[in-house]
Structure formats: C-alpha cells, structure tokens
Amino acid sequence: MSSRITDDTIDALQHCRLKAHFQLRGEQGAPSEYEKLLIEQRARLLPKAIERVRSHCGETELLTDLRITSADLRKGAAFILGASQVDDRFAVHFDALRKIDKPSALGSFRYEPVFFCATSRVTAFDRQRLAARAVLLARVQGAFPNGGTAYVGPGCSRTSIRFGSMLAKAEALLRDAERLQRAEDPPKLMLNDHCRICAFRDRCHDQAVREDNLTLLRGLGEKTIKRCARSGILTLTQLAHTFRPRRRGKRADLPLTQRDHALHALAIRDKTIYVLGSPEVRTAEVRIFIDMEGDPDRQFIYLIGLIVSERERVERHSFWADSEKAEDEIFARFLEVVSRYSAPCLYSYGHFERTFFERMRRKARRKKPIDTVLSALTNVLKIIYPHFYFPTYSNGLKEIGVYLGCHWSDPDASGIMSMVWRRNWEMTGDASWKSRLIQYNLEDCEWLRRVCDFISQPPHSELEHRSGGEYRVRSVAELDKLSRTTNWSKLVNPDFEFVNKRAYFDYQQRHVFVRTKHKSLRKRGSGEKRRRWQNRDLRVTHRIRISATRCPHCKSTRITSLSPRQQPKGLQRRRKRAIDLVFSPGAIRRKVIEFKTAAYRCECCQQCFVPERYDRLKRYFHGLMCWFAYQHITHRLGIKSLAALFYETFGVRINFWEFADFRHLLVCKYSETYNRLLKQILDGPVLYIDETEIKLKDGEGYVWVLASNSATIYMFRPSREGGFLRQMLRDFRGVLVSDFFSAYDGLPCLQQRCLIHLMRDLNRAILDNPFDQEVQSITAPFGVLLRSIVTTIDQHGLKQRHLQKHTKAADEFFGAVAERVYESEASKALQQRLLRNRERLFTFLRHDDVSWNNNLAENAIKHVSTYRDNVRRSIKAAGLSEYLVLLSLFQSCRVMDISFLKFLLSQERDMGAFAMGKRRRRRAARIEIYPKGYLPPSIVSLRRGKTRPASKPGAVRSDGGRAES
C-alpha cells in the first residue's frame, strides 16, 4: 500500500486492524449517525479551544499551521496551533503543541502534544490517541514527553495527562500501522463492540456470516477463539458440534453462572431455543418493567420508562428530565409510582438500572424506599445468560425481541441512536426527537414484558407460533442421554410397577431371602445387630490391674483400698478394654488388654477416688493407630475401607469418628517432629515451594508445600496470598526454587525459577504462533542454551565449578533478546517475561546443589492432588490440616528413604536420628493414656452437649501409680 498513515488510521487501529486496512487503501464506508455526532461536536469545540489557547499566550508566542520539522521546532514558540507531521509514511495532524522546559535534541526545551476533547471526560481512547502523537513527536525532537495537555468539554477546562506505560503501547500501535501499510493481504476479520458505530459494519457483518465466523457470537474472547483455533475449530458450525451435555455433579443445587458457547452455537445451527437447567423467575400480582435512557458522557439519567402490569390492567409511565438538575425529580416521581403497590416485582434488562438505583441511594436521605426497590429488582439478562440459548448472535433485548416477534416503530432504534436523538433535541429543541425517545423507551419496556412472559413458561419441544413464523423450544435435558439411568420404558401398569419394585437386590436381601434362612442363622444375625457394646466378644490376651500410690487431691500416700460394698456411688470402676496391634518380623497380631482397678479413700482428706490413669486410659493403643496412619496415608485408603479392613483382618470394629480421633492424637504426638522438619528446611541451602487449590466442605483454600532434599512440609492456608512467606522466610539464606507465581517476586532471598514451566510456555507460544519468526528467534537459542546446560548436569551433576562456564552464554542470550526490537505481540510478551526474570532464571549456575526445575515440590503436590480427587468436598479445614501433618511425615520418610510405618512404631520424634540408626530402644508401654483435658469420642457421645477441649502436644504426666498384671 502507498497510502499514508493518517489520524483516522491511528484511531481505527485502536478498535480494529481491518478497519485501519480499509482506510489505508482509501476505501470509504457509510458513517453512522453517532460518528457524525462526534464529528459535529468536535467541530463546534475547536473555535472555543483555540480562543482559550490564545487567551493564555500572546500572539508573539503563538505559531499556527506549522509543519513539524527539527528546524521549525527549534524556533521555540510557546504554543503551536494546527501542527502537522507529513512525510512519506505519515500525515498526522496535531491540535496543538506546548513548549515545556526539559532538554531534548532541540535544546533546553521540548514539546508535548495538546488535544481538544469534545466530550466531558478524557477516555482511555483519547489518552492513547494523544500518546501516539507523543511518540511521533519524539522521533523529531529526540525525547519523549512525559505527558500531554487536554482541553476538555464545552467549557474547555485544561487538564494534564501522564503517559506512563501508554508510550510503549502507542509505539507498538504505530509499528503495527506501519506493518499494515506494507502488507498486501487484509488482516483477519474480528468483530467487536466497535462494529455498532463503524462505517464498514454492514460489509464486515456480511463477510462474517458468509465465513460463519466465530466472532459473530458475542461474548467469545480472543483467548477463547485462539484456544478453539488450536483445536481446529474455526466456524460456528464446528463449535456447535463440540457441545456435549453433561450430567451435573453432586452440588447441582448451586445456581448456574457460566454460559456454554458451544450450546449457543448449536442453538444458531438448529434454529432452536435451548433451555439449560431450571430457571426461576420471580413473579407477583403486580409486575413493573423498567427501562432507562441516559447520557454516559455526563453520567445522568434523563428518561425513566415503566410499564405496570396488574392482572389485566396495564399502565405506562414516562418521566423526562430536561437537564441534569431534574434527575432527582424524575427519580422521586418513579418512587412515588412504585410505592403505590404492595410487594411488586420489578424487572430490568441488564445492570444499568441497578447501578443507577445504587448511585441514587448513596446520596438519598431516606434509603428504605430505594432498598425496597433494589430487593424487588430482577435482572432478566442474568437469568437468560446461563439458562436460555436463543438462535441469535447476542443476548441483546432487540435481537431476542425481534426473534420472538417484537417490532420497534423505528427500525434504527438502539441505545447508540438514543444518544444521537437526545443531542439533536438539546441542540434544536424539536419535540419530535423527544417523542421518538419516549416511544422507543416504552417499546423497550413492552418487549421486556414479552421476554419475561416467554422465559416464565416451562420449555417444551413443540413448535411455538409467532407473527411471521414459528420457533422451537427444547430442554437440554432431552439431549442428555447420560441422564437416563435405564433404557427400560416406564411401567404404566400399576401391578407391574408393584412387582418390579420387589425385584431389586436390596429388597430381596432384606425381606425375602432372610425369611428362607435357617432359624439359628437368623437369630445369630439378629443377635449381632442388637449387641450394644462393640468388641466385647474379643478374647482377652492380657489382664492388668491399675492401682494408685497417692491421693490426687492432697498428694498424700496414706490411702486405703475400698471393698465394693464400701465404694461410694458415682465412682467408675468397671472393667475396661484396650486394643493394640503387635508387629513382629513375620506377623501382625491383635492384643486385647483388660484393665481393672479399685476405689481408694485418702486418710488425710477423706476423699474417695479412682486412679487418674484409669480414667484417662486409651481405648486403642499406639500400634493400632500406626497401622491406621500407614494404610490411610501410604495406601490412601478411605475411612470406610479402613473400617472394613480392621474388621475383616483383626475382627475389630472401629467407628468412623474414632479414625479422626486417631489422626488427632498422632498429630499431637508428632507436632514436635513437624516443627523440627520445618526448621530443617528453612535452615537448608535450597527450598522448593509450590501450592495448589483444594475444595473444602466449608469453603476452599490452598495447600502449600515446602520441600528440600531431606524433608517435606505441607501446610494449609485459606487463600493464595503469599504474605506469610515473608515472615516465614525472613531468616532464610538459601535459594528459593519456584514457579512464576507473582507472590514469590518480593521475597528477600535468592530465587531460581523453574525452567520446565518456562519451557512449556515457550512451547505453547510456538504452537499458538507457528509462522512467527520472531518467536522462533527467541525459543531456538534458548533451547540450544538449555540443552548444553542439561548435558553438563548429566555428566557432572549440580556443581558450580562445572556449570559456571555457561554464565557467559546466558548473558549473551539475554543481551541479544534485550537489544532486538520485536514487532509481534507474542515475541514482545516473551521478551518482557525473559528480561523481567533475568536474574532468576540461571541462579543455579552459581550455586551447588540447586536444581533448574521444581520437581521436588511438584512431586510432593501430586499426593495432595490425589487426596483432593478422592475426598472432593467432604473434609473441613481442621481435618485437612491434621492430614497434612501426617502426610509431611510420610513424604519426609520417603525422601529420606526410610520406612514410614517403622518410624511411627519406633515412637521416635527425631526423624534424622532414626534415619542415621541412632535409635533409642524404647520399652513398649504397658499402659497408654490420653493427654490431660482430652475427651475421647466415646465419652463425648455419652456426655452430649459437651465438646472436646483442644489438647496441646507435649509430654503426658502420670499420677505416679503403678500397674500390676
């Protein structure tokens, strides 16, 4: 192309590359009424702005209609009006230039661009437009201006604009314009929100329909379109074929919030309205349908329309505001109408009306009437979005209304046109514009009522008749074959239904086959079910008598044993049983211990008591709890499986809640080991860290893993915020190996990023941009560099003296990436990421035993992922935290290559000493007791209403008694 880049080209490129391509070729479209309005507003503003500039500076300091060159700018005029930059590539107009005292190639001064803004606010589009002119100006004067000046609105108020990061975006925008200028083929068609006011809207829409373009479907983002393209999905028809109805999970009661774009494409292909789920629309005897028209530039509502439907009676109201001051008045009139009715339901289409009500509530004195309106307001679009899929390209009220048979009196009526009509009324005062707006507003309310009536009806597959044609409505459940649990047809004969229910397996087991069993078997089975105390039928292998040596009240040793007749009421002295597992090299055997005791009286204080150890006696001993932890953590057996395992293997019945008790007691016992492992990791030279999300019964949270070559620690946090890491790692002096999560960036320690994560992202960039040579120029050298380093590691290990020779090659790679100017978005993103993490990518070259990947932490995370898939949302935060303590012990044993079960059975607290073989020989305790203040579940179940106090880990003191066997 030989056309120059103009103001229109730069403006168009901010919205659409194809529009900029058309303008570079000199093609002309049909400008929309809204674009014409903006041009007229700007034309009326220019004389006012120029007059305002002339009033700020004298005629001697002002130049006009100057062509921007170095020689002309060196003249040093304070203000230049109507400047232009014209060369072989550009023909760009500047509203004005203002001189500022900062050095440049021109001398001790430089210029910044000035922009005349017709609207009342400076938008992001205006800022980027001004930044693009600042970049062009910098190419002439040799220095970038830090900001610009804008004269805003009809009053031409002056405001300063800081550019910041917008200069880099503006420079990329101009480079993109230059690429389009050189290119012969048009860019890919991508419809967007700007198409509503674009001069080429009809042409692009027709092309998109012919191509069956994905961007016809409103709501599909650029990332989603790229993801579809990677899967070979390029059209709406192809996207429709990807829809697969899925049965909802256990939490099907949660409301739908997401939209399935594949189902939307299917609705367009089949020309059918699909209904997903069970939408609920609030209704009442009085229904009020609301629509508002406003001025987004001045941020005020000038028209409120509503239709009140009460049974067969329909009322229509319109409240018009001539100016911003009348906004409060029309809102008060609206509240007056709504307050006439008791418990009405209000309906709007979108969140525009709710936002207005909330704004009025903030400045209102009486908030209760507005709160009543807000509580009764229903956003119809919020119901349509997840549940209703119309065969239209968007969910706009006009598109859906036209499909359902609604017709607007003005075919061009839209939200954009309403702003044009309002400005025409303000300039001319013609009542026809006002009547047109009121008519359009009431029609919106009427068709909103029609849409509400439609979505309130239950879906069915029959043809619905409407004016001009007919349409079909189907429920997605009809497409979901997975929802059918059987292929049998429904039994219509009541006798067949009666017989069929009695053919189920469970029914026959409980009601039929049990009657045919032998009487003795039935009695035995029924007797087992009626047994009150479990495990009382187990044979006792050991008997121990617990006695006391002193009074627990006054510590006196002058105590006497009481006979059963002398024993006062209330003292518990029944026989107790404890169960344990004894491990030998060739077998595991069950051990059942029966304990007896007697009541005592102190001769000093005359108090009667039972030995304290008898009250705190454990029901299950350490060996059995170790076997539970081993099966639960190592082999990932669930609670139900463990209960069946203990009963089938050892004949021991254990309740589900008692397993949680086992876990709690083990955590209390080994919390010291857990803290010692954490300190060992933080004192080490290398720390590997990672995190993963987990869903809980009472919410969600994150599991963090800290690992080293000799230990692993898991911890639960309610969020992904990494603020606690700064406190935890304040004394860490090693190297932190992690992924690219931003929470690690500010930690005060040396860091190494996982190069496997980076390599995967580079590979994804290659797949997403297969013909981008700039991406290849980054990934290819990086692959060569990384391959040479890994080869050295395979030969010599992670030794600094062998790896430091690669530091020069790494510096050369970063230097080449930093010096080159990239044009494609993918290559620029890779460049920024590599340079931002430059000091964290090759830290392992300068240290011993620091890995270039984060596999230690990621491997540890796999155990959490498996556990998460097994338990889903059936665990709470407290139970998960206890599980993570035991999992930390297991994973640490795994990396230290020692047996988790043997470590638990040894009752050793120091895992390092156990690994080195420095094990203190412990004699098995004959009696095991609960920590002080701890209530086991069996006692809690008897004392209903009381809760188990939290017990602190630590040594358990006995009362000084002795055990006799």
Q: What tokens were used for 735?
A: 């190297």
Residue 765: pLDDT over 60:
yes
Cα torsion 435, 440, 446, 449: sign: negative
Question: Would you state the pLDDT for residue 247?
Answer: 61
262 and 243 in contact (C-beta within 8 Å)?
Answer: yes
Q: For the chain, give the percent of residues with pLDDT over 90.
A: 52
Q: How confident is the model at residue 482 (pLDDT cuts 50, 70, 90)?
A: very low
Give the up-direction half-sphere exposure of residue 702: CA atoms within 13 A in the CB hemisphere: 13
Tokens at 949, concatenated: 């106090």
Q: What is the pLDDT at residue 916?
A: 86
What is the band of 771 on the pLDDT scale with cuts at 50, 70, 90?
confident
How far from chain centre, in Å, is Cα 112? 42
pLDDT band of 946, cuts 50, 70, 90: very low
- 730 CB-contact burial (10 Å; exposed 0-12 / middle 13-18 / buried 19+): exposed
Residues in contact with 947: Cβ distance below 8 Å, sequence separation at least 6, in sequence order: 940
Question: Taking the CA atoms of the chain, what radius of gyration do you get in angstroms?
Answer: 39
* Residue 258: predicted pLDDT: 87
Q: What is the DSSP string of 165-213?
A: THHHHHHHHHHHHHHHHH--SPPPP---GGGGG-TTHHHHHHHHHHHTB
Cα→Cα distances 652→35, 590, 649, 683, Å: 83, 9, 8, 44
Per-residue pLDDT, 532: 52
357 pLDDT above the threshold of 90: yes
Which of these ranges, 366-380, 398-412, 748-762, 785-799, has the smallest mean pLDDT? 398-412
DSSP reduced 3-state for 160: strand
Please state, in angstroms and rounded to a whole number, the distance separating the CA atoms of residues 149 and 579. Answer: 84
- Give me 565's structure tokens: 């007749």
Please give the torsion angle defined by the CA atoms of residues 154, 156, 161 and 166, in that order, rounded to the nearest 10 degrees.
50
| DSSP code of residue 946 | -
- What are the Cα distances from residue 888, in Å, to 615, 721, 895, 903? 33, 22, 11, 13
Predicted local distance difference test score (pLDDT) of residue 964: 42
Pairing of β 79-86 and β 90-100: antiparallel
Pairing relationship of beta strands 147-152 and 110-117 according to DSSP bridges: parallel
User: What does the DSSP 8-state code read for residue 950?
Assistant: P
Residue 522 has pLDDT above 70, yes or no: no
Each as own residue / partner, the long-range contacts of residues 276-279 (CB below 8 Å, 24 or more positions apart, any chain) are: 276/386, 276/387, 276/388, 276/389, 276/475, 276/476, 277/386, 277/387, 277/476, 279/383, 279/387, 279/388, 279/455
Q: Mean of the pLDDT values across residues 459-468?
A: 52
What is the pTM for the complete model shown? 0.65
Looking at per-residue pLDDT, the higher value among 499 and 47 belongs to 47
Average pLDDT in the chain: 86
Give every CB contact of residue 461 below 8 A, 6+ residues apart in sequence. 472, 473, 474, 475, 478
Whether pLDDT at 253 is above 80: no
Maximum mean pLDDT: which of 47-61, 469-483, 720-734 = 720-734
The 10s digit of each residue's pLDDT in 107-158 is 899 999 999 998 888 999 999 999 999 999 999 999 999 899 999 988 888 8
Sorting pLDDT into bands at 50, 70 and 90, what band is 483? very low
Res. 180: pLDDT tops 60: yes
Report the range of poorest mean pLDDT among 105-109, 494-498, 644-648: 494-498
Give per-residue pLDDT as tens, 365-398: 999 999 999 999 999 999 999 999 999 999 999 9
Query: How far apart (Å, rounded) are the C-alpha atoms in residues 266 and 702?
Result: 37
Buried b (16+ CB within 10 A) or exposed e, 865-901: eebbeebebebebebbbbbbbbbbbbbbbbbbebebb
Query: β-pairing, 735-738 with 750-753?
Result: parallel
Which pLDDT band holds residue 937 (cuts at 50, 70, 90)? low
Q: Is 145 helix (H, G, I), strand (E, B) or coil?
A: coil
pLDDT of residue 224: 87
Cα gap 429→329, rounded to integer Å: 21
More confident residue, 523 or 613: 613
Q: Is the pLDDT of residue 484 over 70?
A: no
* Angstrom distance (rounded) from CA 180 to CA 20: 8
Both tokens of 337, joined, read 């109408």
- Residue 693, token pair as written in the block: 């999300």
The answer for residues whose C-beta is within 8 angstroms of residue 722's C-beta and 6 or more apart is: 741, 743, 744, 747
Is 50 exceeded by the pLDDT of residue 65?
Answer: yes
Give the per-residue pLDDT at 405. 86
pLDDT at 959 over 50: no
What pLDDT shows up at residue 950?
39
Contacts of 437 (CB under 8 A, 6+ apart): 293, 303, 418, 421, 422, 425
Q: Is the pLDDT of residue 249 over 70?
A: no
Higher pLDDT, 568 or 327: 327
Per the CB < 8 A criterion, the answer to whether 305 and 441 are in contact is yes
Task: Return the pLDDT at 245.
Answer: 79
DSSP state of 512: I
Give residues with Cβ within 8 angstroms of 734, minimum separation 6. 684, 685, 686, 687, 749, 750
pLDDT digits (tens, 9 = 90+) for 266-323: 999 999 999 988 888 999 999 999 999 999 888 899 999 999 999 889 999 999 999 9
The pLDDT, as a whole number, for residue 965 is 37
pLDDT bin (cut points 50, 70, 90) of residue 526 is very low
Region label for 469, one of left (φ > 0), alpha (ψ between -120 and 50) or beta (otherwise): left
Question: What confidence category does residue 409 fall into, taking pLDDT thresholds of 50, 70 and 90?
Answer: confident
Compute the distance between CA of residue 58 and CA of residue 55 in angstroms, rounded to an integer: 7
Is residue 764 scored above 60 in pLDDT?
yes
